[in-house]
Amino acid sequence: MNKELFKKALIRFSCGLIIVGAILFISAGTLSYPQGWLFMSVLFIPMFIAGLVMLKKDPELLRRRLEAKEEESVQQKIILLSAIMFLAAFIAAGISFRFDLFMIPLSGSIIASVVFLASYGLYAEVMRENSYLSRTIKVEEDQEVVDTGLYGIVRHPMYMATLILFEAMPLVLGSLLSLVIMLTYIPLIISRIRNEEEVLERELKGYTEYKKKVKYRLIPFLW
């Protein structure tokens, strides 16, 4: 086991757990927020398990996922706007619970949790298929185009999975107000994909041919 990588991943995981939990429960004004605990469970338990699997099976992929320095200026702006979106959505969810504003029944949150976990599974499959995945837009020296599995259906299956994940989040938290805020992820991810494809066409051999083979970027038969 790479102890240094494990330490780095554990620190990142712990910080995320503390920050998200603090935002949600401080906004809610109580720890008695069932949907908040449900969300923390379906988000962080699979995340922890996935981290352990990557550490054992593909530590290089884990290392890439932990990289956070984005060189593309367009992507830097998108990342900043995404961070603001998440902050606003989590605060809105807590406030919705505190004042019982635009909340859905707990049963609806449970159904959304099933969708969330299913999309987590989709995300895991994408990572299994493509060991070059990184949080930043970059092309590795030995990188090749992946066109099998989900990559044979859409060009950006990771973003397809995150789209489902992120739109399910506010419903797991039970807040329609939070959902409205999270809908801003759609134009953000469209901008990210367009910029990423410019980089890939310029730097990744075979990507132009791949675009001709796989027509849809994000959603089959739609876009």
Query: Which pLDDT value is given to residue 117?
Result: 95
Res 66 pLDDT > 90: no
CB atoms near residue 95 (< 10 Å)? 16
Specify the pLDDT at position 36: 97
CATH code of the domain occupying 3-133+140-213:
1.20.120.1630
The pLDDT, as a whole number, for residue 92 is: 98
Residue 134 above 60 pLDDT? Answer: no
Q: Mean pLDDT throughout 175-199?
A: 93
Question: In this predicted structure, what is the pLDDT of residue 86?
Answer: 96
Q: How far apart are CA 51 and CA 58, in angstroms?
A: 10
Q: Is the pLDDT of residue 193 over 80?
A: yes
Whole-angstrom distance, CA of residue 171 vs CA of residue 174: 5
Residue pair 102/96 in contact by the 8 Å Cβ criterion? yes
Residue the block writes with tokens 């837009």: 137
Distance CA 83, CA 89 (A): 10
Model-level pTM greater than 0.95?
Answer: no
pLDDT at 141: 58
Burial readout 173-210 (b: 16 or more C-beta within 10 A, e: otherwise): bbbbbbbebbeebeebbeebbebbbebbeeebeebeeb
Residue ranges of domains in the chain: 3-133+140-213
Residue 135 pLDDT exceeds 60: no
Query: Which pLDDT value is given to residue 139?
Result: 58
Distances (CA, A) of 176 to 35, 135, 136, 161: 13, 28, 30, 21
Kindly report which listed range (64-68, 122-126, 185-189) carries the lowest average pLDDT score.
64-68
Confidence class of residue 72 from pLDDT cuts 50, 70 and 90? Answer: low
50-63, pLDDT tens digit by residue?
888 888 877 877 77
Q: Which of 44, 45, 39, 46 is nearest to 24 (CA)?
A: 39
| Contact present, 179 and 104 (Cβ < 8 Å) | no
Please name every residue paired with 103 in a beta bridge, in sequence order, or none if there are none. Answer: 175
